[in-house]
Amino acid sequence: MINKPTIALVTGAMGGIGLEICKALESKGYTVIGLYHKNYKSQNWNSDRKLDRLIQCDINDESSCSKVIGEIVSFYGKIDILVNVAGITRDVTFKKMSSTDWGDVIQTNLISLYNITHPVFNNMIDNKYGRIVNISSVNGHKGQFGQVNYSASKSGIYGFTKSLAFEGASKGITVNSISPGYIETSMTDAVPDSVLDSIKSQIPLRKLGTPSDIARTVLFLVDVDASYITGEDINVNGGLFMI
Ligand code: CAA
């Protein structure tokens, strides 16, 4: 390793889980650059922090991503840690699902992984060091009524993670995923109460998780000492689904 790993890039930085991950990384002394979509206000996180660490970027736009990442690498010299958090839902039964509901979710949750990860991974190869964590979902493992699009995208993340882990292994780069269960965020707020109650009753721990539950797991995986864990998925779901 050339330099101490300090620079972390997080997508979906203004979402419930992404924001918590940014804060957790900052609290451990990492320099955190958060990417967020223009539809999300840069709330909560930015008031006492430098604006240049919070960058508006559409992860679906490959040229914007490569420009932004080029600028980050020029300024900071490297990216040590990448946490791919950005994701959306368009929950609807498959019978009623439009091709837009399908395409938007697959595009944002899966296809966009290329746009961010490709330039970052190549920088990590140059530095012979990297930690990549992709946020999947319990529903990528088990499926969910009304989430054919979302579950397909989140399952795709496992193949992406494991294959990239093979390629990163000889370069000092680990690639892992985390599969959150139902976490207290605006995404679960949007689930009808009756459905959420039914899901909660199936969780052995009988409660939703918190964004901190996920952030703590990210901290574990991105640690310099987590060097022998790669191609792995960690379930953080209160026991909702045990593999
Ligand atoms: N299993 C089997 N059948 C079900 C069902 C289920 N879980 N839920 C509903 N149905 C049935 C209903 O009984 C109904 O049957 P009939 O037509 O025979 O009456 C039919 O399916 C239609 O049900 P709804 O009227 O509820 O359908 P809807 O179109 O109004 O809503 C939905 C469907 C949008 C998918 C709604 O159920 C929903 O929002 N579900 C939540 C999905 C979910 O868990 N999303 C997770 C979001 S959080 C997240 O994604 C983060 C993460 O990573 C975990």
pLDDT in tens, 197-222: 999 999 999 999 999 999 999 999 99
Asked whether the beta carbons of 31 and 8 are under 8 A apart, the reply is: yes
Give the residue, out of 84, 85, 91, 193, with the most ligand 1 atoms within 8 A of its beta carbon, to mutate for a pocket test.
91
86 in ligand 1 pocket by Cβ < 6 Å?
no
- Report, in this order, helix, strand and coil percent for the chain, each rounded to 5: 50, 15, 35
* HSE-up of residue 148 (Cα within 13 Å, Cβ side): 11
pLDDT more than 90, % of the chain: 90
Ligand 1 centroid, distance to 208 Cα (angstroms): 18
Q: How far apart are CA 243 and CA 181, in angstroms?
A: 13
Minimum-distance ligand 1 atom for the alpha carbon of 198: 7
Query: Can you list the pairs that 100-103 forms with residues at least 24 positions away whose Cβ atoms lie under 8 Å?
Result: 101/149, 102/148, 102/149
Residue nearest to atom 8 of ligand 1 (CA): 145
Q: Is the distance from the beta carbon of residue 16 to the nearest atom of ligand 1 less than 6 Å?
A: no
Report DSSP state, residue 19.
H
* 168 vs 230: CA distance, rounded Å: 9
Q: Is the CB–ligand 1 distance for residue 198 below 6 Å?
A: no
Nearest CA to ligand 1 atom 24: 93
Residues 63, 206: Cα–Cα separation, whole Å: 44
Please tell me what DSSP assigns to residue 41: -
When the pLDDT of each residue in the chain is averaged and rounded to a whole number, the result is 94
Q: Where are the domains of the chain?
A: 7-184+210-236
Task: Say how far apart CA 214 and CA 12 lie, in whole Å.
Answer: 14
Domain covering 7-184+210-236, topology: Rossmann fold (3.40.50)
- How many angstroms separate the CA atoms of 17 and 67, rounded? 25
Does the beta carbon of 195 sit less than 6 angstroms from any atom of ligand 1? yes
pLDDT per residue as tens digits for the range 167-207: 999 999 999 999 999 999 999 999 999 999 999 999 999 99
Tell me the mean pLDDT in the region 14-35.
94
CA nearest to 148, candidates 202, 93, 185, 196: 93
Position 67 pLDDT exceeds 80: yes
Q: Angle 197-90-162 (CA atoms, 0-180°, nearest 5)?
A: 95
Residue whose structure tokens are 């958060």: 34
**Hey, which residues are catalytic here?**
150
Q: What is the distance between the alpha carbons of residues 193 and 199, in angstroms, rounded to a whole number?
A: 10
Ligand 1 neighbourhood includes 196 CB (under 6 angstroms)? no
Kindly give the distance from the C-alpha atom of residue 93 to the centroid of ligand 1, in angstroms, as a whole number.
Answer: 7
Of 188, 103, 198, 112, which is closest to residue 150 (Cα–Cα)?
103
Gap between the Cα atoms of 229 and 177, Å rounded: 11
Given this model, what pLDDT does residue 40 score? 78
